[in-house]
Amino acid sequence: MLIPASNAQHLMLRADVLEACAARRFPIWPITTIDEGIALLTGMPAGERGADDAYPERQRKSRAGRAAEAICQSPQGSQRSPLGKRKRMSAGGQENRHRLIVELCHGAADARTLRAVAEMAALLQLDLHGLFVEDEALLGLAELPFVRELRLPTREWQPIEAGRIAAELQRSAADARRLLREIAGSLGVPEAFEVRRGDPAEVIAAVAMTTDVVAVAAPAAPVGRIAHGAARVQVAAHHATSSLLLLPAGLTPQHGPVAAVLTNAQDPALAMAARDAANTHGRLLLLLPAGDVAMADAMLEHTAVLGVPRTHVTTRNPDGTSVEDVLRALGHTRERLVVLARGASTAADVGAAWRIAANRGVPGLLVERGT
């Protein structure tokens, strides 16, 4: 049996189990990483990627990678590229404009979420880039003889079949491609689609540029095989160097103003929020620090230059920069988007922005500084 090392000090066993452990009939191994467990269960080191992005021979992940390579076939027309190569080419071989990247295998492949992403791409004048990640950890499970899955409707535990997993991924990728093209086409948004294989967090980090926006959806109830991948996509968002579009599970479309939480006259959230408002001829709500009249005037002049007249701009002064301060300042406003500059305040880190988006039921756009 494998248990988390942090739980070892709290482990309580019956006397007969303790006797079995002492006689080595029932060994219990505390581990701190999944790789430690793989090594114990298989008798082979899990392995780490080398400088060439490959796993050394005679290591478990090397064997799993070769098996995955053998069983996986790309959906027709999909574009595979090795992890780490950042290609930004359109179908015609021309470099794309700035992109809104959406990962379609771990939570954002439903029509409602994808339409929200595509609408945002249209408003911000971004190309929509669909990314389907075939999780190498999932594909490697079939290499492990002790792994079973519960099959419905028989409710029987059976070995995981590598070929069936690969076929399911192919069908899912094809469905995601069709949905992306259908929704993007209906909105006139340029789109591209590619399939990559690897760790979802590593793939997103390799694909996304600083000038991109990465859409991250919170699955309403991630279950089964996608749960771990969805969690890793969330981790990737916390460490990404690109701007982030955060889509809460309870997304509720609104038609109110775009709200921007600002800290100074050079705050990049202002330009992004004003671009959205100008493209829709909508209204803009600016949450500004209290007492700085000169900065407020500069902000209003800047929004006019960006295409939003002063008559379409409302300002409010939160009591502070915390999540609670921002939520109180928004009050009963039915804003359709909240824009913040990443790291500009305590409300503008990824975790805090998620709280704001989830509380308001609208997307949160976390703008990377320098974009």
Look up residue 161 and give its DSSP letter: P
- Mark whether 362 and 232 lie in a shared domain: no
Mean pLDDT along residues 7-16: 80
- Mark whether 238 and 265 lie in a shared domain: no
237 vs 217: CA distance, rounded Å: 10
Q: Which one-letter amino acid corresponds to residue 142?
A: A
Mean pLDDT along residues 197-206: 84
What count of Cα atoms within 13 Å lies in the side-chain half-sphere of residue 169? 27
Answer with the one of 213, 247, 281 that is the final residue of a domain.
247
Mean pLDDT along residues 195-220: 83
Q: Where are the beta strands (DSSP E) in 288-351?
A: 313-316, 337-341
Note down the domain range covering 294. 258-367
- Tell me what pLDDT residue 79 has: 42
Answer with the one of 217, 247, 277 that is the final residue of a domain.
247
102 vs 245: CA distance, rounded Å: 9
- Tell me what pLDDT residue 325 has: 93
230 vs 103: CA distance, rounded Å: 10
Mean pLDDT along residues 85-93: 42
- Mark whether 268 and 196 lie in a shared domain: no
- Tell me what pLDDT residue 228 has: 47
- Mark whether 262 and 239 lie in a shared domain: no
Mean pLDDT along residues 278-292: 88
- Mark whether 183 and 232 lie in a shared domain: yes
74-88, 150-164, 225-239 — most confident range: 150-164
218 vs 208: CA distance, rounded Å: 19
- Mark whether 222 and 269 lie in a shared domain: no
**More confident site: 164 or 188:** 188
- Tell me what pLDDT residue 125 has: 87
Residue 144 maps to a domain: yes
212-257 pLDDT per residue, tens: 999 988 755 444 444 445 556 666 666 667 889 998 877 777 789 9
Give the chain's mean pLDDT.
78
- Mark whether 228 and 286 lie in a shared domain: no
CB 246 within 8 A of CB 361: no
307-326 pLDDT per residue, tens: 899 999 999 999 888 899 99
334 vs 252: CA distance, rounded Å: 10
The first and second tokens of residue 235, run together, are 């981790």
- Mark whether 189 and 127 lie in a shared domain: yes
Q: Which one-letter amino acid corresponds to residue 70?
A: A
Q: Say whether pLDDT at 365 is over 80.
A: yes
- Mark whether 316 and 222 lie in a shared domain: no
Return the closest-CA partner of residue 177 out of 140, 129, 224. Answer: 129
Residue 262 maps to a domain: yes
> What percent of the chain is modeled with pLDDT above 90?
23
- Helices then strands, counting H and E runs in the chain, come out as 12, 14
Confidence of residue 148 (pLDDT cuts 50, 70, 90): low
- Tell me what pLDDT residue 299 has: 87
Q: Say whether pLDDT at 77 is over 50.
A: no
Mean pLDDT along residues 32-56: 69
- Mark whether 200 and 132 lie in a shared domain: yes
26-35, 144-153, 156-165 — most confident range: 26-35
**Residue 168, number of CB atoms within 10 A of its CB:** 13
- Tell me what pLDDT residue 83 has: 34
**Torsion on CA atoms 187, 188, 190, 196, rounded to nearest 10:** 30
Q: Say whether pLDDT at 179 is over 50.
A: yes
40 vs 36: CA distance, rounded Å: 6
- Tell me what pLDDT residue 129 has: 95
Residue 27 maps to a domain: no
Q: Poorest-confidence range of 13-17, 68-72, 274-278?
A: 68-72
Return the closest-CA partner of residue 213 out of 39, 44, 318, 337. Answer: 337
The first and second tokens of residue 128, run together, are 């929509």
Q: Under DSSP, is residue 337 helix (H, G, I), strand (E, B) or coil?
A: strand
- Tell me what pLDDT residue 142 has: 65
- Tell me what pLDDT residue 295 has: 84
- Tell me what pLDDT residue 71 has: 45
94-127 pLDDT per residue, tens: 454 689 999 887 656 688 889 989 998 998 889 9
- Tell me what pLDDT residue 194 has: 93
Q: Where are the beta strands (DSSP E) in 80-190?
A: 99-103, 127-135, 148-151, 156-159
Confidence of residue 180 (pLDDT cuts 50, 70, 90): very high
Q: Which one-letter amino acid corresponds to residue 109?
A: A
- Mark whether 110 and 233 lie in a shared domain: yes
Confidence of residue 50 (pLDDT cuts 50, 70, 90): low
Look up residue 231 and give its DSSP letter: H
> What percent of the chain is modeled with pLDDT above 70?
71
200: phi then psi, degrees, rounded to nearest 5 = -50, -45
Answer with the one of 226, 247, 268 that is the final residue of a domain.
247
* CATH code, domain with 355: 3.40.50.620
The structure tokens 């793989």 sit at: 38
Q: Say whether pLDDT at 147 is over 90.
A: no
Residue 178 maps to a domain: yes
- Mark whether 92 and 206 lie in a shared domain: yes
Phi/psi-derived region of residue 93, left when phi > 0, alpha when psi is between -120 and 50, beta in every other case: left
Return the closest-CA partner of residue 264 out of 320, 341, 347, 319. Answer: 341
**More confident site: 290 or 241:** 290
What is the number of domains present in the chain?
2
Phi/psi-derived region of residue 50, left when phi > 0, alpha when psi is between -120 and 50, beta in every other case: beta
228 vs 248: CA distance, rounded Å: 18
- DSSP assignments along 41-52, one per residue: HHSS------TT
184 vs 216: CA distance, rounded Å: 18
